[in-house]
């Protein structure tokens, strides 16, 4: 398992967080999500999309949308209708916002450092697991950032590049068994039936191909602390938040071997600090910690979340199981 993390000091992390999240664009996205949720009725799902068990109960609401928690694996999922999720992403105002030059330029400016870190990490892991990192075939799911697309295309490891379910280009489907890497960064959380994605990924990948993805983790610190008061959780945008146990069960069921599960997230504590007034009424320990811990103690706590797999941002690498 990968154990090296990038950790920024609190002052630097606050600056990055402001650049990535607290913008007029994110506020507009949040308004669109809130308005859509207010005009659509949810649907009790009951069956966990991660482990498949019919053992769930509502844990919180966000903008009137109920989130359920699986009693078996601890994964979270939104009680929404599949057709409504499709309609949400098809909204013209949302698509126009995300395709605008201003949105794309702002995203490139604020996220470039993170993208470069991800691609450097990916090139290294590709060499480790595939034995080489040049001329690889990459299928990229759900990428809505032109700057990130450009960086992947020009990465040293990328030979051919295809997009799927993207705002920026039409779907491209390479031949079955021909793909070295299926990439899905910040994509799976929008899904209501993730099995369909994993089945397609398994079909596209070569015998030693890698599935690389990131996702909001349902067992993450700020997710469970803030629950329905988490301003970064958008109904219809974030529908599937699996726990580590849940994603392991799902991968196993869909024919994958998990190679790495890491949580290199650095925003968890800052999110909670920024929303301390939204903590549960009786969450005395967290309030005491936030009010009295030194900056060094807070930085060490964030490192603890990273190393323990308890950050709400998870990066995973899986490989197709060898068939007999």
Instruction: For the chain, list the domains and their CATH numbers.
Output: 10-320 (3.40.50.150)
Any idea what DSSP says for residue 63? T
Instruction: Answer whether 130's CB lies under 8 Å from 136's CB.
Output: yes
| CA–CA distance, 321 with 5 (Å, rounded to integer) | 27
Rounded to the nearest 5 degrees, what angle is found at the Cα of 258, between the Cα atoms of 195 and 188? 40
Average confidence score pLDDT of the chain: 91
Rounded to the nearest 5 degrees, what angle is found at the Cα of 78, between the Cα atoms of 217 and 247? 35
- Residue range 209-221: average pLDDT? 96
- Residue range 222-240: average pLDDT? 95
10 Å CB burial of residue 285 (0-12, 13-18, 19+) is exposed
- Dihedral sign from CA coordinates of 263, 167, 111, 125: positive
Residues pairing with 260 in the sheet: 317
Closest to 158 measured CA to CA, from 126, 185, 186: 126
10 Å CB burial of residue 179 (0-12, 13-18, 19+) is buried
Please state which of the ranges 1-5, 21-25, 101-105, 198-202 shows the lowest mean pLDDT.
1-5
| CA–CA distance, 294 with 68 (Å, rounded to integer) | 35
Instruction: Answer whether 129's CB lies under 8 Å from 93's CB.
Output: no
Instruction: Answer whether 223's CB lies under 8 Å from 216's CB.
Output: yes
What are phi and psi for residue 256, nearest 5 degrees? -120, 150
**pLDDT for 30-73, tens place per residue?**
999 999 999 998 888 889 999 999 988 999 999 999 999 999 99
**pLDDT for 151-164, tens place per residue?**
999 999 999 999 99
Structure tokens at 228: 């329905």
**pLDDT for 68-113, tens place per residue?**
999 999 999 999 999 999 999 999 999 999 999 999 999 999 899 9
User: Which range is most confident: 6-10, 23-27, 52-56, 141-145?
Assistant: 141-145
Specify the pTM.
Answer: 0.91
**Predicted local distance difference test score (pLDDT) of residue 233:** 94
Provide the b/e sequence for 196-216 (b: ≥16 CB within 10 Å): ebbebbbebbbeebbbbbbbb
**Predicted local distance difference test score (pLDDT) of residue 324:** 61
pLDDT at 14 over 60: no
User: How far is residue 267 from each of residues 30, 56, 248, 294, measured CA to CA in Å?
Assistant: 19, 28, 24, 17
Three-state DSSP at 29 gives: helix
């Amino acid at each position: 398992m990968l154990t090296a993390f990038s950790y920024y000091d609190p002052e630097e992390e606050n600056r990055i967080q402001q650049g990535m999240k607290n913008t007029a664009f994110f506020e507009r996205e949040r308004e669109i999500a809130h308005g859509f949720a207010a005009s659509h009725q949810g649907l009790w799902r009951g069956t966990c999309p991660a482990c498949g068990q019919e053992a769930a109960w509502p844990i919180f609401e966000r903008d009137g949308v109920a989130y359920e928690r699986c009693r078996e694996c601890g994964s979270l999922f939104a009680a929404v209708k599949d057709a409504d999720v499709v309609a949400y992403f098809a909204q013209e105002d949302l698509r126009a916002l995300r395709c605008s030059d201003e949105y794309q330029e702002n995203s490139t400016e604020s996220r470039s450092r993170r993208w470069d870190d991800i691609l450097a990490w990916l090139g290294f892991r590709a060499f480790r697991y595939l034995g080489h990192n040049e001329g690889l075939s990459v299928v990229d799911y759900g990428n809505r950032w032109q700057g990130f697309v450009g960086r992947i295309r020009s990465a040293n490891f990328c030979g051919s590049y295809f997009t799927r379910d993207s705002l920026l280009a039409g779907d491209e489907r390479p031949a079955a068994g021909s793909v070295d890497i299926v990439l899905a960064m910040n994509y799976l959380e929008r899904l209501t039936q993730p099995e369909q994605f994993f089945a397609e990924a398994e079909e596209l990948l070569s015998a030693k191909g890698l599935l690389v993805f990131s996702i909001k983790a349902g067992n993450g610190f700020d997710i469970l602390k803030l629950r329905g008061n988490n301003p970064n959780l958008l109904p219809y945008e974030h529908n599937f938040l699996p726990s580590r146990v849940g994603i392991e069960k799902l991968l196993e069921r869909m024919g994958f071997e998990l190679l790495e599960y890491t949580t290199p997230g650095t925003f968890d504590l800052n999110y909670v600090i920024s929303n301390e007034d939204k903590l549960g009424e009786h969450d005395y320990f967290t309030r005491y910690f936030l009010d009295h811990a030194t900056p060094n103690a807070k930085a060490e706590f964030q490192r603890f979340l990273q190393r323990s797999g308890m950050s709400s941002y998870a990066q995973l690498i899986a490989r197709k199981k060898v068939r007999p």
